[in-house]
Amino acid sequence: NGLIDEVLGEKKDVRKIFANDIIEASDRLNRIVDNLLGSIRIESKRTALNLEWYDISDLASSVREKTGLLMKEHKFTLEISGNIPLLRFDFMLMEHLLKNLVYNAILYTPPGSRIVLRIVPDENDIIITVSDNGAGIPEAEKEKIFKKFYRPKGAKTGGLGLGLSICREVAEIHNGTISVETSEMGGASFIVRLPLQRSEIKGEV
């Protein structure tokens, strides 16, 4: 309504505020739809893994690009070990998992907070962590948050409580696990451990 108001619509600053609100609302709606459709596909077992060999840095770069607009008020760091070979995984599902984790870190931390996406090898596994220096997650909530439709007290509006449950489902489809701990920075640290098949060909980082 503000944009079509003759008086308010003429003010550049007001138009910018309303435009940003529209963009953020549209982004929230897109995430809700993506998570809802993702949950339906996984539950109905229509999701067949499209396993291909990928450079893990390509996945991380795609996630950073697609969350960049929302990240403008946060300090984002990407850390990838230089000795990771090509990995075999479903790119779309893994991108969905990481986007959900990064979105959550953005949503539940104040402007100026740090968010770190780290990917390192650990013997036969790949460890992916998304950490922040926000308020963290109470011990009593750490297992509940992965349940479908669960929304903790004080959760921001605009979601269905599906994001983290889908993250767990995607990790488990890849024979992996996901958990949450207190990060070294004092906030939350989501840890994805995936026993992914590896290629002898080194990926570029």
DSSP-derived 3-state class of residue 131: strand
Average pLDDT of the residues in 3-17: 56
Residue 160 pLDDT > 60 = no
Q: In what order do the strands lie in the sheet with 125-132?
A: 75-80, 114-122, 125-132, 188-194, 177-182
What's the whole-number mean pLDDT along residues 3-7? Answer: 53
- The candidate with the shortest Cα–Cα distance to 117, out of 198, 196, 167, 190, is 190
Selected residue with higher pLDDT from 24 and 100: 100
| Burial (CB count within 10 angstroms: exposed 0-12, middle 13-18, buried 19+), residue 88 | middle
Q: What is the pTM of this model?
A: 0.74
Q: Percent of the chain scored above 70 by pLDDT?
A: 66
pLDDT for the residue 2 = 46
pLDDT for 79-89, tens place per residue? 999 888 899 99
pLDDT digits (tens, 9 = 90+) for 11-68: 566 555 555 555 555 555 555 556 555 555 555 545 577 889 999 999 999 999 988 8
Exposure letters 120-159 (e unless 16+ CB within 10 A, then b): ebeeeebbbbbbbbbebbeeeeeeebbeeeeeeeeeeeeb
CA distance 186 to 140: 17
The pLDDT assigned to 12 comes to 62
Return the pLDDT at 205.
Answer: 42
Residue 148 identity (one-letter amino acid): K
Which of 171, 175, 177, 169 minimizes the C-alpha distance to 39? 169
Q: List the end-to-end C-alpha distance of the chain, in Å, as a whole number.
A: 47
Task: At 4, give phi and psi (nearest 5°).
Answer: -95, -5
Query: What single DSSP character describes residue 155?
Result: P
pLDDT tens profile 102-141:
998 998 899 999 999 999 998 889 999 999 999 888 888 8
